[in-house]
Amino acid sequence: MHTLTRAASLALLSLVVACTSVPRPETVLASGQTGPASLVSDGTYLYWTNRTGGEVMRLPLAGGTPEQRASGQVQPQGIALSSTHLYWANRGNHTVMKLPLAGGEPVPVATGQSDPEDVAIAGGYVFWSNGSATMMKAPEASGAASAVSDQTSSPSELVTNATHVLWANSDGTIRRAPLAGGSEETLARGDLNATSLALDDTHVYWTTFWGSIQRVPLAGGGVEKLAEGENHPRAIAVDGSFLYWAAGGKDGTIRRMARSGGKPETFAGDQGEPAGILLHAGHLYWVNQSAGTVVRAPR
């Protein structure tokens, strides 16, 4: 029997530690998609937009064949769900659309918008960001669109909680307004080109085009920079333990770090323009825009 030297033991320990940090096993749920952009789930299906192909798609969470729910859309981007309808923003023809989950033909919620990008449902309203103008909303049932903000701030992604809609702006501000209406407020002033948002019970988190991950308390306070030097991070999401985001282009990665702070690590490598991160039931889902795939990995 041979006894390991101290140096060999340390080398073996290093190998074990390295092996525990390899990316999680991934499952490609759908391939051959044309510019998939955003993901949502109702607990039974995954839904996503194909920005290049002008489609809205769905797939059972358990797996199966992707099904086209709408076609002929023009650069569909952000997507959201209510209990009865699917909503999305068509940047290419300046519309916000909705479609019954049971099926049918899509109809416009609003037309003549200024580069609509993201969409969310909360408090009986549909909210969307007009990337060349301001934040907007319209009643879920029917009714005219109205401005949430009176300032042109080039909003991008938005999130909602029980009381407010929050959005990121190209000038680096994070703003919010009550769901039921009222004055907006600037919650934080961070780096320029804020690109995506996520919420937990105490903080709002965001990414910036220039590579930082930041947060601020929902109760107000100073901006905390959690990470820097990331490769154009976007599509941030948060669970009880970690922050996740997409980074990079055709050689992109899914990255993560402890929610409380620490050193970022690669969760999944060799992705093709990852985006659209979704957390659901112990798994992380995302789309690869250039690779045309929808992917799942255990958290």
The per-residue pLDDT for range 137-181, each reduced to its tens digit, is 999 988 899 999 888 888 989 999 999 999 998 888 999 999 999
Tell whether 270 is covered by a domain: no
User: Domain count of the chain?
Assistant: 1
CA distance 272 to 214: 25
pLDDT the model gives residue 199:
97
C-alpha dist (Å) from residue 216 to 121, 175, 186:
23, 11, 11
Higher-pLDDT residue of 278, 13: 278
- Computed over every residue of the chain, the mean pLDDT equals 90
Tell whether 31 is covered by a domain: no
CA distance 211 to 84: 37
| Average confidence (pLDDT) over 34-43 | 96
Higher-pLDDT residue of 8, 192: 192
Residue 192 CB neighbours (<10 A):
12
pLDDT the model gives residue 216:
95
- H helix runs in 71-201, sequence order: none
pLDDT the model gives residue 195:
86
Q: pLDDT of 168-179, one tens digit each?
A: 988 889 999 999
Q: In sequence order, which residues have a C-beta less than 8 Å from that of residue 262 and are 6 or more positions away? A: none
We report the CATH number of the domain holding residue 121 as 2.120.10.30
pLDDT the model gives residue 23:
58
Res. 218: pLDDT tops 50: yes
Res. 196: pLDDT tops 50: yes
**Beta-bridge mates of residue 160:** 165
pLDDT the model gives residue 22:
53
Tell whether 293 is covered by a domain: no
Tell whether 43 is covered by a domain: no
| Average confidence (pLDDT) over 233-254 | 96
Q: How far is CA 105 from the centre of its chain?
A: 26
Q: What are phi and psi of 183, to 5 degrees?
A: -70, 140
Res. 13: pLDDT tops 50: no
Yes or no: say if 71 and 106 are a contact pair by the CB < 8 Å rule: no
| Average confidence (pLDDT) over 56-62 | 95
Yes or no: say if 233 and 195 are a contact pair by the CB < 8 Å rule: yes
Lowest mean pLDDT among 13-22, 61-70, 125-134, 186-195: 13-22
Which tokens go with 52?
Answer: 């290049």
What range does the domain containing 214 cover? 61-260
Tell whether 233 is covered by a domain: yes
- Torsion sign across C-alpha atoms 183, 187, 190, 195: negative
pLDDT the model gives residue 7:
44
| Average confidence (pLDDT) over 30-46 | 97
C-alpha dist (Å) from residue 23 to 68, 90, 230, 289, 295:
31, 34, 18, 20, 13
| Average confidence (pLDDT) over 58-70 | 95
**Beta-bridge mates of residue 99:** 86
Higher-pLDDT residue of 257, 17: 257
Tell whether 76 is covered by a domain: yes
Q: Residue 8's pLDDT band (boundaries 50, 70, 90)?
A: very low
pLDDT the model gives residue 142:
85
Place of tokens 């064949």: 65
Query: pLDDT over 70 for what percent of the chain?
Result: 92
Tell whether 166 is covered by a domain: yes
Tell whether 197 is covered by a domain: yes
Sheet strands side by side (includes 135-139): 116-122, 125-130, 135-139, 146-147
